[in-house]
Amino acid sequence: MYRLRRSKAPEILLSLLRGPKHVRELQAEVKGSSLTVETRIRELMKEGLIEEEESKVWPFRRILRLTPQGVEMAILLKQEMSAVSRPSKGRERKVGEREKWVSVLLRTLGGEVEGSVRLQKLLFLLKREQGVDSLPFRFLPHLHGPYSVEVSDTVLELEKAGLVEVEREGAEVVSCSLTARGEKLAEEFLSTLPEEVRKKMEELKKFNEMRLRDLLNYVYSKYPEDSRYL
């Protein structure tokens, strides 16, 4: 795995976490030499954390953005930096609405979901196809279909709070599963949801049982406006 502590690598990831940028814009923000920034970009691309495309309008610049794995790594880095700079208050952090929704989805699907991409698509379908508008996640078109940085952030928060166990291979999330504490939280939140919403979450089981390729094809074909093809 690429060593993220090398000069300007953290700054590049955190800058792209705020949104895609062309190379010169990125260089100006991270305040590095062009040689150093270009070198780090190539290394981060090799690690699968950054992807690029050519803009469709003049002056046809290279546009850099984080991959889903890059987003997760940047969020983890951001949280680590925040933890170092923030003094401990000696009390447990309050669980937010996003954490409750992810935990209850995992509970409904048997306590575990394979991979962050699948989790993203299931939450998207819950909001878009099942019509659960109260779901507090905003999805944007991405190379891998509709994507929400808030979902990745929430999984990391749940892991940090000891409510979810995350299995990884490098930067890639292989599975997310509820811990015993997470199960308890999910049960409590589930009991507050209307019966209609619970049924809609149950209907996601058929999508969770699909092969990932079939699930992605379903989302791409039915919601092309929410997917981006390169």
For residues 49 and 102, membership in a common domain is answered with no
Collapsed DSSP state (helix, strand, coil) of residue 187:
helix
The verdict on residue 82 lying in a domain is no
**Dist CA 190 CA 185 (whole Å):** 8
Confidence of residue 87 (pLDDT cuts 50, 70, 90): very low
**Residue 83 pLDDT greater than 80, yes or no:** no
Asked whether residue 91 carries a pLDDT value surpassing 70, the answer given is: no
pLDDT for res 71: 86
Whole-model pTM over 0.75: no
Task: Report the number of distinct structural domains present in the chain.
Answer: 2
CB within 8 Å of 176: residues ≥ 6 apart: 106, 112, 113, 116, 119, 155, 158, 164, 165, 166, 167
**Confidence bin at 47 (pLDDT 50/70/90):** confident
HSE, CB side, 13 Å, CA atoms: give it for residue 40.
22
Name the residue among 163, 168, 165 with its Cα closest to residue 72: 168
Mean pLDDT of the chain: 84
User: Looking at the structure, do residues 142 and 44 belong to the same domain, yes or no?
Assistant: no
Is 33 a member of any domain?
yes
Q: Could you tell me the CATH number of the domain that includes residue 50?
A: 1.10.10.10
Q: Which spans in 132-211 are helix H?
A: 149-160, 180-190, 195-202, 205-208
Q: Does residue 148 fall inside a structural domain? A: yes
Stretch 67-93: mean pLDDT: 67
Q: How far is CA 105 from the centre of its chain?
A: 16
pLDDT of residue 171: 57
Is residue 159 a part of any domain in this protein? Answer: yes
| pLDDT confidence bin for 230, thresholds 50/70/90 | very low
Flag whether 73 is in a domain: no
Model confidence at 228, in pLDDT bands (50, 70, 90)? low
pLDDT at 1: 44
Of 12-16, 48-52, 53-57, 110-114, minimum mean pLDDT range? 53-57
The arithmetic mean of pLDDT across residues 185-192, rounded, is 92
Q: Where are the alpha helices (DSSP H) in 50-167?
A: 68-85, 97-108, 116-128, 149-160
Domain containing residue 106: 97-226
DSSP for residue 147: B
The residue among 140 and 80 whose pLDDT is bigger is 140
pLDDT at 62 > cutoff 80: no
Per mean pLDDT, which of 5-19, 76-90, 168-182, 197-211 is the most reliable?
A: 197-211
Question: What mean pLDDT comes out for the span 172-198?
Answer: 91
Per-residue confidence (pLDDT) for residue 22, from 0 to 100: 83
In a domain, 91, yes or no: no
Q: How far is C-alpha 9 from the chain's CA centre?
A: 19
46/137 same-domain check = no
| Helix (H) or strand (E) segment spanning residue 222 | helix 212-222
Q: Is residue 88 part of a domain?
A: no
Q: What is the pairing mode between strands 172-178 and 50-54?
A: unpaired
